[in-house]
Structure 1
Amino acid sequence: MIYRNGFLIYNPAARTLDTAGVEQLDRTLEVLHKAGHSIATARTFGPGTGADVARECLAKGADLILVAGGDGTINEAANGVIPSEVPFGVLPGGTANILAMELGLPQAMEEAARGLGQWIPRRISAGLLTSDGGSHRRFFLLLAGVGLDAHIVSQVDPALKSSQGKLAYWIAGLAEFSRELDEFEVRAGGQVRRVSFALSSRVRNYGGSVVITPDAHLLRDDFAMAWFEGRNTLRYLTYLGGILTNKLAGMEGVTLLHARSAEFVPLEDGPVFVEVDGELAGALPARVDIVPDALTLLVPPSFLSWTR
């Protein structure tokens, strides 16, 4: 497939798009042009601008939207493309590149770009978060986290994230051991639990480091959910052991299930945060829903070998 009016959206503030990264972006464009694709660049202008940039590209008749950046930039651009049928592809280029990892793309941006002509368009479902009691709505491709991990995201130092990448999240996570966790109620699949962390995922990889929901897949039409009970952060050391040894199923305090929607209800004063695709996205009360036939994602042929 050759694209005649494609746009490459990139985040100039992405960790890997510093001076050396700009050269990598130039090399990537050269790869695309040599392959016969006509690709223009479109930069974002700060947090929250990616969706508008994507909409502007669609208004110019784009036949392809590529995004070079981390999962946050990809999320913003996807929010501007959904529910269009214009193909949407990703190139790794940020702090975390979970979607690129999930698709099995090469880590180097220009190497990933070499496969563009062979990538296959597939309509996939997306998640939709409705938060802050219904006042905010946001699509997501990877996951929604409520409680513990969203609080960690809220505490990440932006400067440290820019310089140290994923290490900034681990540092913020260690600080959680000094506090009692907030609890809330989660309802899905006919089950109700009082928990401190609830994950609704479309992907296997969590944070690019561990696997919490091994049965999740972008070609499924549901969420793989993992709920964790308990206020005491030390309990999460046991949970982490279960994650690392792939023994979460059946562990006390852990609920694993698949569902197409879930509700999250606050039980105490003070905000309980929600994050989607690694970015803070509001507070409870909230819900997540599957939106079928939402996005035309470009995937390598090997990705289609998945079966239920």
Structure 2
Amino acid sequence: MKQPAAPRVAVVAHRRKSLGGGLPELRRLLADRGIENPIWYEVPKSRKAPKKARKAVEKGAELVLVWGGDGMVQRCMDALAGRDVQTAIIPAGTANLLATNLGIPEDLEKAVEIAFHGRPRAIDLGKVNGQHFAVMAGAGFDGELIGDADRGLKDRAGKLAYVLTGLRHVRDESVPTKIKVDGRKWYSGDATCVLFGNVSMITGGIEAFDDAEPDNGRLEVGVATAHGPLDWARTIGRMAVGRTEKSPFVQVTRASKVTVRLAEKTTYELDGGEQGATRKLKVRVVPAAITVRVPVPDPAEV
């Protein structure tokens, strides 16, 4: 029986990130699959990745392997959303939250196997102020935490960076906040954090949104009013052992469109990357925006 032709493959890689035997090993694994000359781009920073991802599609790529962390994945997905191409994640970053939520392991050979023999899954993306995100977006405590972790500490301390920076911000002041979900008023009051989730697990491995699914056509929305170390310890403890909405310092809902107005400029982030400060967030879900290769379910677990 004639074997189906291999897809035209592209690699968009953050050259400072490493997994397994590194990019040379990735080249070898591709060659073992008969892919000797993939479209290949390496970038020194994730902000240079979107241009390369779009160029890969223009050159005929049907499958784009994204090598890097959540910031790299976010920028590539922002560029590839809505295009007729499949993506595969090679989780070479610090947190690798999207890969973890989708069941893609931090193992180079297994990730490549999923890229070629996994099943295609169309997932939603969120969109905040014109940019797509795959995992989460947030403003306030979350945005400040990510911003500090991004300033070099994450490279030195890894996942511990989120804990260290979190301790710095638990005393941050709340901001008067108004939130509309799907055109109706939902929240008005002081808030220390506003969070949007496309999946359940977010920064630091916290299960913030218990029932989130990246293909249900909706985004999870949360607002926190916790102040100080004790409140935040109770809030995060509730996330770890119970359901988030049972915390007295958290309100959650689900929506397709959200508008947030903040009384003062507040730092916000997308998938672990700081985006600056703003007083308004326009958020919406983009259903089935991109197709990702994910593990084939184990029949014994279905």
- Give yes or no for TM over 0.5: yes
Kept after mapping to 2: 8 A contact 1:198/1:227? yes
- Residue in 2 that maps onto 1:88: 87
Mapped partners of 2:86, 2:300: distance in 1: 20
- Residue in 1 that maps onto 2:152: 159
Mapped partners of 1:254, 1:232: distance in 2: 14
Kept after mapping to 2: 8 A contact 1:79/1:139? yes
Kept after mapping to 2: 8 A contact 1:181/1:232? no
Residue 290 of structure 2 aligns to a residue whose secondary structure is strand
Letter in 1 for 2:273: E
Letter in 1 for 2:293: L
Of 266, 280, 283, the match for 1:288: 283
Shift of 1:157: 5.3
How many residues matched?
A: 294
Mapped partners of 1:28, 1:53: distance in 2: 18
- Residue in 2 that maps onto 1:257: 253
Shift of 1:104: 1.0
| 1:22-41 correspondence runs (5 A) | 23-37=21-35, 39-41=38-40
- Residue in 2 that maps onto 1:198: 194
Kept after mapping to 2: 8 A contact 1:9/1:66? yes
TM-score (norm. length: structure 1): 0.87
Q: Which moved more, 1:142-151 or 1:107-116?
A: 107-116
- Residue in 2 that maps onto 1:133: none
Mapped partners of 1:121, 1:66: distance in 2: 13
Mapped partners of 1:81, 1:196: distance in 2: 33
Kept after mapping to 2: 8 A contact 1:176/1:233? no
Cα shift readout 1:265-303 (whole Å, capped 9, x = no counterpart): 112x4x212111011124221121011231122222229
Shift of 1:196: 1.6
Shift of 1:248: 2.6
Kept after mapping to 1: 8 A contact 2:135/2:202? no
Residue 166 of structure 2 aligns to a residue whose secondary structure is helix
Kept after mapping to 1: 8 A contact 2:162/2:203? no
| 1:163-182 correspondence runs (5 A) | 163-182=156-175
Kept after mapping to 2: 8 A contact 1:151/1:273? yes
Shift of 1:220: 1.3
Structure 1: gaps of 5 or more residues = 131-136
- Residue in 2 that maps onto 1:235: 231
Shift of 1:160: 2.1
| 1:76-115 correspondence runs (5 A) | 76-115=75-114
Quickly say closer, same or farther: Cα 1:247–1:22, change in 2 above 3 A.
closer
Quickly say closer, same or farther: Cα 1:161–1:186, change in 2 above 3 A.
same
Kept after mapping to 2: 8 A contact 1:9/1:43? yes
Mapped partners of 1:253, 1:183: distance in 2: 15
- Residue in 1 that maps onto 2:122: 123
Quickly say closer, same or farther: Cα 1:111–1:138, change in 2 above 3 A.
same
Residue 128 of structure 1 aligns to a residue whose secondary structure is strand
Residue 76 of structure 2 aligns to a residue whose secondary structure is helix
Quickly say closer, same or farther: Cα 1:171–1:215, change in 2 above 3 A.
same
Residue 28 of structure 1 aligns to a residue whose secondary structure is helix
Calculate percent identity across the aligned residue pairs.
Answer: 23
Cα shift readout 1:80-128 (whole Å, capped 9, x = no counterpart): 1111020111011011111111111221122211232222223322111
Kept after mapping to 2: 8 A contact 1:125/1:220? yes
Of 275, 288, 296, the match for 2:269: 275
